[in-house]
């Protein structure tokens, strides 16, 4: 989509921001649902492939791809590790952190939440999967009035969940990402269009009103759930192979 000059308070119910696009599975799903999408991906090689994959959506003005690294500091040049063995595990390298041997280090320019909102307005939903850099990026949110209706972050640790709470979210769900491919596509759809027969692979899965589960949880309840999960992990049971996405919601938007 083109990037018109918009007021930072503008809300766009037809817009999703996909941060950490990787191979484009999530962006593809959002486009099929009928949303406009802004993708943010730091890997320059992957960006070239994504421009080819989404050439039609780009030409139609429904997709805009930014070769930037979501971060807490605007315009800063960052070291970005490209994991050639598992591209989805590519990540910003914090100072002093050594890269994995199966890949290479390049440079990426950081982009903050404020810059994205200033350029595109406030999206309906944001997905963030940037391999441990979620909390620093969330720290760039300075105005609670600029939050999307729904926000999801990959949560291998509690820090991204706590960051969502700090910026203003009070309603949460944890989704087991080893099971998302089993969830049925709601029919009739509760978000956008029905994508019949869709199967999730290397993807974040359902979002917003289509999430599985009967209710949203308070931050206090979520703290209790996370403590229970960590207790089980410490016992070295099978849950050690499980990871979660945390989804947050604003009831009024």
Tell me the domains of the chain and their CATH numbers: 11-192+199-249 (3.40.50.150)
Q: Taking all residues of the chain, what is their mean pLDDT, rounded to a whole number?
A: 86
Q: Per DSSP, what are the bridge partners of residue 81?
A: 91, 105
More confident residue, 160 or 199: 160
Q: Which residues contact 253 (CB under 8 A, 6 or more apart)?
A: 11, 148, 149
Residue range 134-172, pLDDT digits in tens? 888 888 898 889 999 999 998 888 999 999 999 999 999
What integer pLDDT is reported at residue 73 of this predicted model?
76
d(C-alpha 120, C-alpha 39), whole Å: 12
Kindly tell me if the per-residue pLDDT of 90 is higher than 60: no
pTM above 0.85, yes or no: yes
pLDDT of residue 8: 46
Q: What's the pLDDT score for residue 157?
A: 87
Whether the per-residue pLDDT at 82 is higher than 60: the answer is yes
Average pLDDT, integer, range 43-64: 96
């Amino acid at each position: 989509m083109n990037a018109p000059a918009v007021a930072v308070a503008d809300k766009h119910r037809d817009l999703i921001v996909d941060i950490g696009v990787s191979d484009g599975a999530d962006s593809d799903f959002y486009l099929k649902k009928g949303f406009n999408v802004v993708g943010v991906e730091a890997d320059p090689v992957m960006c070239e492939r994504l421009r080819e994959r989404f050439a039609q959506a780009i030409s139609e003005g429904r997709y805009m791809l930014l070769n930037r690294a979501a971060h807490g500091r605007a315009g800063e040049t960052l070291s970005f590790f490209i994991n050639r063995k598992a591209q989805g595990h590519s990540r910003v390298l914090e100072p002093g952190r050594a890269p994995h041997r199966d890949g290479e280090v390049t440079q990426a320019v950081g982009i903050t939440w404020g810059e994205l909102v200033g350029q595109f307005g406030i999206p309906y939903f944001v997905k963030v999967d940037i391999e441990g850099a979620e909390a620093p990026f969330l720290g760039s949110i300075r105005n609670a009035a600029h939050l999307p209706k729904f926000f999801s972050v990959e949560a291998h640790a509690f820090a991204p969940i706590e960051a969502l709470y700090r910026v203003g979210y009070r309603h949460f769900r944890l989704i087991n990402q080893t099971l998302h491919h089993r969830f049925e596509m709601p029919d009739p759809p509760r978000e956008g269009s029905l994508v019949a027969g869709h199967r999730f692979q290397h993807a974040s899965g359902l979002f917003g009103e289509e999430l599985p589960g009967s209710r949203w949880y308070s931050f206090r309840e979520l703290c209790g759930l996370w403590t229970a999960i960590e207790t089980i992990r410490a016992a070295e049971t099978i849950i050690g192979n499980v990871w979660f996405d945390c989804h947050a919601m604003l009831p009024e938007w």
